[in-house]
Amino acid sequence: MSSEKCGIFIDGGYLNRILKEYFNESKIDYLKLCEQICLDLKLNRLRTYFYHCLPIVRKNNKEDLIRQSNMQKFLTNLKRLPRFEIKLGRLQLIGNQFRQKMVDVLMSLDIVDMCFDNQIQHAVLIAGDSDFIPAIKKAKDCGAIIHLYYHPSSVQNEILDMVDELHELDLEFINKCKI
């Protein structure tokens, strides 16, 4: 194991979508996920940052209340794992779809800050969005190695071209992380 440190940055909405669409809603152990990443990369984990949004609760909507309660329980359990931090954006209704707001910005700022301060030498992203490209460029300018864990059917090409190392989230990897 190297003495170099990594920060793991998880776009929770992205990972949930991947698990639902490609792995039959597999329930994963997030600590196992981080341990597997560190084992694969031979790195020490400083911390894991998990970015997501609480569901919107519409007036008198019991399903929304249940969904929000379940998410709060999940986040509380995640927060209690060793060296995990939760960062919440907010959901906004745009057209007929809920969209995450502030998640990409919060994640980008953390990546850049930690690389700039040399707290980590490797930034591990679980994401698929090209909105992270400016943060990736800046982190690379600070000397960090950028790893992307992604699913090939749900990733933008621009981010694939920008990171240093690609790691596919496939069934074999997900099975190692199941509860």
Going from the N-terminus, what domains does the chain have, and what CATH number goes with each? Answer: 5-176 (3.40.50.1010)
How far is the C-alpha of 33 from the C-alpha of 27, rounded, in Å? 11
CA distances (Å), origin 64, targets 11, 56, 103, 147, 176? 22, 7, 21, 35, 32
Candidates 42, 41, 46; CA nearest to 118 is: 46
- The per-residue pLDDT for 101 is 86
- The per-residue pLDDT for 1 is 67
How far is the C-alpha of 65 from the C-alpha of 79, rounded, in Å? 21
CB atoms within 10 A of CB 100: 19
How far is the C-alpha of 128 from the C-alpha of 41, rounded, in Å? 20
Q: What's the predicted TM-score (pTM) here? A: 0.94
Residues of the chain predicted below pLDDT 70: 1
Phi–psi pair at 167, nearest 5 degrees: -140, 115
